[in-house]
Amino acid sequence: MADCSNETVELLTGRDAAGPEAERPGRRRSSALRIALAVVVPLALLASVAAVSALASRGPGRETSRPSDGVALSAEYDSYVASGPFKCTGTWAAIAPGQGDANVWRCLGGACVQASCRCDGNFDCMDQSDESGCDSGDGTTQSAVSFGGGGAASRQDGDGAASQDVGGGTFTYAPSPATEPVPVPVPAPAPPAPPGSSSSNSMSFPLASSWQPPPPAEPSSTGSGCYESGGFKYQEVWRAQGYTFFDSFNYLLNDANAGAAQYLTKEDATEKQVTVAYDNHAIIRAGPKAGQMKRASAKLETKTKWTYFFMAAKFNHVPWGCGVWPAFWTHSPEAAWPNGGELDILEYSNEIASRSSFHCGLTNKCKLDAGLMHKPGCPKYIDAEFNFTGDFQCVTHYPAMIGCAPNRLPLRSGEELSMKPFISAVEWTPNYVKLFHIPASEAPSDLEAGEPQPDNYDRWVTSYFPFAASEQKRPGSCPNPGQVMKAQQLVLSLGFCGDWASKVWLNSTCANTQGPRLPEECVAVDPHNPMGEIPAGPRDCCTAFIHDQYDQYGSDEYLSKRAYFNVSWVKVFQHADRRLKGRGGLFA
């Protein structure tokens, strides 16, 4: 095999590796229905200096560091990234599929490979198109990979140039000279895309995308020993509440998910009433049309970070509905994603139910022990990744490794969550993470008093990550449980469409109930495999509905009734022997 890996590291850790604000490269990943289908992104990209620099660019006073072992770490992913495809960014994003320059060649599926990997006799593109049109040495050329569906067709022109019509565009590439090496045979092509989809990935969702298995039988009572206990009594160290709610947040501007959101500055969000603070609650809502096929929105990140804490947020309403992609999550500014850890507290799109998940890298690797998730007499936790068939592996490297999501079923949709006010809470200790869903009407008195004791909240646990206990049961599975996450910031975002809601639109209840008709007027575009379509473009069903350029779908009214957060407060607590050392710092 041609050694493209060194060139990949050199290019991706240097120039043009990412945009100026790629704040969570490869992310959003957190949910099975979109992450399992994402394009392969090498760890070199995830750890690139551009991505780390992007973290620093999102606000003043940020602590960042460039990992010194990026090249060595990427070697550990040899079975996944070797010389394989990576996301086309910067100037490479302008290269048409089936074309290339001196550095890269773009696969028909949309990913990039090194130029030296083109016609080297090895399949480097996931769709094998890097070996299509190459001379076999006997005067014939390899056939182009046919994607089928959506009107795709292949043809051979009179001058020997091969073309493929895919949806809205034609990709052309000429046969290689007769001196090229002999490629290996081309395996059978991937299944064709269903009508109305830009990607065969949509065939992975034969059921409605809101499907979930029936919950296992619950124990009559939660016995002792189901969960670890920290024994901590917490004290409040930070809060966002009232008229100054938004003063505690940075406003992030980039959309890393190729979606239809145009995130606004604090000044613009205030002017357009996308973010509004009142005396007893704050609103983050879908705003008016903004920019080319975009809708105004907000992505908020706390100015402070914490190591080990209890966090609680009271929600009176959360966004829900077609094209909507809300998330309440944490990430770390101290390491390239996912080596700082990411915890998804609430996240969902369209009518898909929310699930909690965790993502880490090889430097902070962790696999949870399945036996701890299914203790006799205790609530059962199902890994919701891979359509509820995950194995509790939290290491994330898309698409083969997408993190862990141990959830207690049934999962709740955004519509269901909005029926009654609730408190979403997280406890992170050196040994474990617990997530809680507490009905506001049952709020514990110690939490209301500002001194929560979450050891008493086990009946409300919805997701459980026993890092230390997993390591004890299987040494080496989670070798540094106390450092599996670096200091975390809270993020509250309201996104639209992109590489989740758009991709699964075909198999959601939104198709042909909201927006243009599918497939006559639109397609469900997968941004990582657009097949000639434009991600977040006018032919994408989800984007066309959310933007509603000509006010023909009633999207303004639809979103005004559904797509908003109403949050009373967000509070962070720490136990007595840990206190703030100034903005973003801690000491024991």
On whether both 124 and 246 belong to a single domain, the answer is: no
Q: For residue range 223-267, what is the model confidence (pLDDT) as tens digits? A: 568 999 999 989 999 999 999 999 999 999 999 899 999 999 999
Nearest alpha carbon to residue 113 among 89, 91, 142, 83: 83
On whether both 123 and 238 belong to a single domain, the answer is: no
Tell me if 344 is assigned to some domain: yes
On whether both 255 and 402 belong to a single domain, the answer is: yes
On whether both 124 and 240 belong to a single domain, the answer is: no
Q: For residue range 155-182, what is the model confidence (pLDDT) as tens digits? A: 333 333 333 332 333 333 333 334 444 4
Tell me if 53 is assigned to some domain: no
Residue after which a domain boundary falls, among 114, 130, 146: 130
| CA distances (Å), origin 543, targets 125, 135, 553 | 28, 41, 12
* CATH number assigned to the domain comprising residue 354: 2.60.120.200
Q: Are 542 and 502 a contacting pair, CB within 8 Å?
A: yes
**How many beta carbons lie within 10 A of that of residue 157, not counting itself?**
10
Tell me if 482 is assigned to some domain: yes
Q: For residue range 371-419, what is the model confidence (pLDDT) as tens digits? A: 999 999 999 999 988 778 889 999 998 767 889 999 999 999 999 999 9
On whether both 374 and 492 belong to a single domain, the answer is: yes
* Separation CA 575–CA 588 (nearest Å): 10
First to last CA, the chain: 51
Q: What pLDDT sits at residue 18?
A: 32
Residue by residue, what is the 3-state secondary structure of 229-254?
CCCCCEEEEEEEEHHHHHHHEEEECC
Tell me if 373 is assigned to some domain: yes
Q: Is 560 left (phi over 0), alpha (psi -120 to 50) or beta?
A: alpha
* Separation CA 4–CA 167 (nearest Å): 31
Tell me if 294 is assigned to some domain: yes
Residue after which a domain boundary falls, among 130, 161, 184: 130
SS3 state of residue 480: coil
On whether both 101 and 242 belong to a single domain, the answer is: no
pTM: 0.69
On whether both 279 and 401 belong to a single domain, the answer is: yes
Q: Tell the residue number behind the tokens 């095999």, with chain if given.
A: 1
Residue after which a domain boundary falls, among 75, 102, 130: 130
Whether residue 5 is predicted with pLDDT greater than 80 in this model: the reply is no
Tell me if 270 is assigned to some domain: yes
On whether both 124 and 257 belong to a single domain, the answer is: no
Domain housing 108: 85-130
Q: Among residues of the chain, what percentage have pLDDT more than 70?
A: 68
Tell me if 254 is assigned to some domain: yes
Amino acid at 452: P
Tell me if 208 is assigned to some domain: no
Residue environment code for 199-216, b if the CB has 16+ CB neighbours within 10 A, otherwise e: bbbbbbbeeebbebeeee
Sign of CA dihedral 155, 157, 162, 163: negative
Q: What pLDDT sits at residue 96?
A: 76
Q: For residue range 53-62, what is the model confidence (pLDDT) as tens digits? A: 333 333 333 2
Number of separate domains in the chain: 2
